[in-house]
Structure 1
Amino acid sequence: MIRALREIIDRLSAGASVDERGPLDREEAIRLATAVLLVETARADESEKIVESAAIFEQLQRHFALPAEEAEELMALAEQEIKDAVSLQRFTRALHEALSEQEKLAIVEMLWRVAWADRHLHPREETLVRRIGGLLYIRESDMLRLRNLVQEEDGKPWPSPRDG
């Protein structure tokens, strides 16, 4: 699986469109791009927390119906891709090209869940999720609605900007 996903990223880097490949490659590219964005969101506050890693694992397993071993491999590959990546644009472009608006909204909700996993929304996490949402062409109102949905499910209010 790792080798196949690496080949997909190499093709994306070379400018291949997600739709130019077969359905299995397409799904693998979507999984990897999503995992990269989730991992980068968790790292945005410059502290890696076990609770955020657990949230990434849970989101990948639930959204893509992955067995634990595949979710772990996907997370490991995403970590490596982040180390090698110059920007997140190739990953957001891959998702934008491949997904419907509803599917992209689901990705943004996953990002908010990872950002809020430690019950603290760091300004860098919020900025990154909103930037990714913009690159996926998601309306600001939808991004805020999803953020509020995650907060309401948790029962803890989002800190105000004055809370720092």
Structure 2
Amino acid sequence: MAFKWLTRLIPQASEGEENSNALSRAIAVLMLEVAQSDFEETEEETSTLLAGLAEHIGENSQPLEDLLASARDDKANSAGLYEFTRLACTEMGLAERCALIEQLWNIAYADGVIDKYEEAAIRKVSELLYVPHSDFIKAKLAAASALNKTP
């Protein structure tokens, strides 16, 4: 009896861990989209991306470099961003999605230049995550003021 109860718990725990890893990879793919949208991923953008990943996923068993490599593969093999934004939208609350948009702005500001393609990528992700436009602008201004940049 106790064994059956235990076996029912184990798959649920691994399923929850699997969802957490999938969400972490989805967030990493969205961050990569912004970092690579201007066709030049700089070292500053990559380090900001890794710092943002560490902030969003917290203590995770998967090393950040492995997560980033996995996200690069996922991005290369995907047809678009919908599968990643859908997962993020269902697993994250509005406040978390707004924080993610702010982190995307931090990545865009990392190299000191906001390219029109970076802004377009963030806008697209923001719309797919159902983040209100006012929160999109607030995130942009917060990221700019944190880095002493003008939007």
Aligned partner of 1:47 in structure 2 is 40
* SS of residue in 2 equivalent to 1:22: helix
Aligned partner of 1:138 in structure 2 is 131
Deviation >6 Å, runs of 4+ = none
Aligned partner of 1:91 in structure 2 is 84
Indicate how the Cα distance of structure 1 residues 68 and 52 shifts in structure 2: closer, same or farther if over 3 A, else same: farther
Is 2:121 aligned against 1:128? yes
Number of equivalences: 138
Deviation of 1:106 after TM superposition, in Å, equals 1.5
Would you say the 8 A contact 2:31–2:49 is kept in 1? yes
Question: For the aligned residues, what is the CA RMSD?
Answer: 1.7
Q: Distance in 2 between matches of 1:113 and 1:68?
A: 25
Unaligned runs of 5+ in 2: 1-13
Identity value in percent: 27
Would you say the 8 A contact 1:61–1:68 is kept in 2? no
Unaligned runs of 5+ in 1: 1-20, 159-164
Query: How does the TM-score come out when normalised to structure 1?
Result: 0.79
Query: Which of 83, 101, 110 pairs up with 2:103?
Result: 110
Larger radius of gyration: 2
Query: How does the TM-score come out when normalised to structure 2?
Result: 0.86
Deviation of 1:62 after TM superposition, in Å, equals 2.1
